Structure formats: structure tokens, C-alpha cells
Amino acid sequence: MTTSDKKIGFIGTGKMGEALIKGILAAKLFPPDNVYASDADFAKLQSLGKDYNINTCRDNCDAVINSDIILIAVKPQIVPKVLEEIKDSIKKQIIISIAAGVPIETFEKALPRGTKVVRVMPNIAATVKEAASAISPGSAVSREDAEIAGEIFNSIGRTVILPEHLMDAVTGLSGSGPAYIFMIIEALADGGVHEGLDRNTAKLLAAQTVLGAAKMVLANGTHTGELKDMVTSPGGTTIRGIRVMEDRGVRVAMMNAVIAASERSKELGRKT
């Protein structure tokens, strides 16, 4: 599969939009001349044009007309307005949406019949090319179209393909998950500071510990329970800490955070 002969247009160039532009260019999926972008913030748009040598458009329709793939990266409440604006410019383009909570049905109803729509839920780690992204193809999307979406999002991390009804669970887990991990890193660092480490050293050790643990989980598929046991010696320091975590309900709190965020995603989806 190759995207080098295709053109991609971005509607919305906030943090996620810019992260994707940076990712696809770094991966050489598209040459800069084949990338178009539009945004209500024209100053930001001009800055991106200079930084990445991409084409900038004042009008969303210009980005659509010039592109084979349209990536919609606007806030959910803006989506209906954008779809109304671009619907007459849609021909055979692939529409990829990262608008949180907006179902594929919203796009398929607003755009011409047979429009190819792919819904994707990435996360903020796209800004450091370590995103976890879930891809859900619409009814008119071919295998080749889905592979193109996969190529784009693999350029900023890892992807999975899931049915759309699981997207709220993805939102609660990987979409909101970085915030949970930031809290854990902060708490670990606070513990280190309590025991005498300076703040910067404690933060570095905590963040690197989380990064290393994550890489071990992804490296060979070993069950997390086995990995935990590798660190937990009988009567040692780790099991003492784990006992405190279990006593304080850390495991249940993390599960409930994912469940609560998923339920909120469902609520927001019903409002779009």
C-alpha cells in the first residue's frame, strides 16, 4: 500500500492535526506538496505552512477539492457546520474523522450517499509519535481504504481496528488514559520527593519507569501478572508497596476511571 501518489487535506490543525501532519511527513507517507490544511485560525495555519512547507487553504472546500483523503480534526460541536460546508465538494474522497464521540452515521447522513468514512480515536501521545489509535471503518470503506487509514495513524504510534460500538471504551481507556498515567507519574515522583529526591530527579525516574514498564508489556506479550512477579521478591520491598496499593483500592479506582470516562463518552455521543 502506498500513499505517496495521493493528496491529503486536514480540516483543523490543532494539537492532534499538527501531530498528524508532522507524523506523516516524518514517515514520508506524503510529500509536503501533497498536504493541504485549513483552519479558522489563519495565523496558526500560516505558521504551519512555513514550518512544514505544506499548502494552506483559507476555505475548507479548497482543502477538500485538492485532496483524495480528508482528515477532519475539529471539535465535535463544529462537525455539523463543517459537513454542511463541504458536502457539495465531496466526490470519492476518503473521510477520516478524529472528532471524539461523533458516530460514523453522522457523517454518512450529512455527506453524499456512498461516502467512505473512517472514524479514528487517537490520543494526545500523537504529539510524541506514541499514540494509541483505534480505527473503525464505515459501511462504504474498502479494505484498501482502511489500510490507508492504518498507514496514516501508524506513523504516530500503534493502531487497532475495532467495530464502532467499542469506540466509547477506547475513549475511556486510551483516549483519557494519558491523564491517568500523568497522575500516576506525579504521585510516584511525590513519593520520591518525600523520601529525599529532588523534584526533577524524581520526575525523570518516575516517567522512565512507566516508559520502561510499558515497553516490557508490548515487547513479547507476557502477561502483566507475570511481569509484576518478576519484580516482586518474597518478603521484599515491592510486595510491601503492592499491599498498600491493594489496600487503598488503586486497581479498582483505575478500572472505575475507565468505566466512568466511557460512560461520559456515550453521553456526549448521544448529544451530537
- Rounded CA-CA distance 199/192 in Å is 8
Asked whether 182 and 203 are in contact (CB, 8 A), the reply is no
Last residue of a domain, one of 111, 134, 167: 167
Residue 265 has a pLDDT of: 87
Residue 222 has a pLDDT of: 92
- Asked if residue 212 and residue 85 are part of one domain, the reply reads no
- Asked if residue 155 and residue 50 are part of one domain, the reply reads yes
Task: Tell me whether residue 77 is in a domain.
Answer: yes
φ, ψ of residue 29 to 5 degrees: the values are -75, -35
φ, ψ of residue 38 to 5 degrees: the values are -130, 150
- Rounded CA-CA distance 41/58 in Å is 9
Amino acid at 199: R
Task: Tell me whether residue 93 is in a domain.
Answer: yes
Stated pTM of the model = 0.91
Residue 173 has a pLDDT of: 97
- Asked if residue 103 and residue 207 are part of one domain, the reply reads no
Asked whether 3 and 148 are in contact (CB, 8 A), the reply is yes
Last residue of a domain, one of 167, 188, 211: 167
- Asked if residue 43 and residue 72 are part of one domain, the reply reads yes
Task: Tell me whether residue 41 is in a domain.
Answer: yes
Domain that holds residue 49: 8-167
- CA separation, residue 185 to residues 55, 123, 195, 202 (Å): 39, 18, 16, 9
- Asked if residue 196 and residue 63 are part of one domain, the reply reads no
CA dihedral 33, 39, 42, 43 (to 10 degrees): -80
pLDDT of the chain, 272 residues: tens digit per residue: 567 689 999 999 999 999 999 999 998 999 999 999 999 998 989 999 999 999 999 899 999 999 999 999 999 899 999 999 999 999 999 999 999 889 999 999 999 999 999 999 999 999 999 999 999 999 999 999 999 999 999 999 999 999 999 999 999 999 999 999 999 999 999 999 999 999 999 999 999 999 999 999 999 889 999 999 999 999 999 999 999 999 999 999 999 999 999 999 888 777 76
- Asked if residue 122 and residue 229 are part of one domain, the reply reads no
- Asked if residue 209 and residue 144 are part of one domain, the reply reads no
Task: Tell me whether residue 2 is in a domain.
Answer: no
Asked whether 188 and 206 are in contact (CB, 8 A), the reply is yes
CA dihedral 211, 217, 219, 221 (to 10 degrees): -170
Residues facing residue 116 across a β-bridge = 94
- The CATH number of residue 14's host domain is 3.40.50.720
Task: Tell me whether residue 242 is in a domain.
Answer: yes
- Asked if residue 158 and residue 38 are part of one domain, the reply reads yes
- Asked if residue 118 and residue 245 are part of one domain, the reply reads no
Asked whether 118 and 95 are in contact (CB, 8 A), the reply is yes
Residue spans of alpha helices (H) in 66-198: 79-86, 104-110, 143-154, 167-170, 177-194
What does R_g of the chain's alpha carbons equal in angstroms? 21
Residue 220 has a pLDDT of: 82
- Asked if residue 236 and residue 126 are part of one domain, the reply reads no
Number of domains making up the chain? 2
Task: Tell me whether residue 3 is in a domain.
Answer: no
- Look-up of cell digits 507475570: 226
- The CATH number of residue 201's host domain is 1.10.3730.10
- Asked if residue 197 and residue 84 are part of one domain, the reply reads no
Neighbours of 102 (CB within 10 A): 24
Query: Would you list the DSSP string of 256-270?
Result: HHHHHHHHHHHHHHH
Last residue of a domain, one of 132, 167, 202: 167
- Asked if residue 197 and residue 94 are part of one domain, the reply reads no
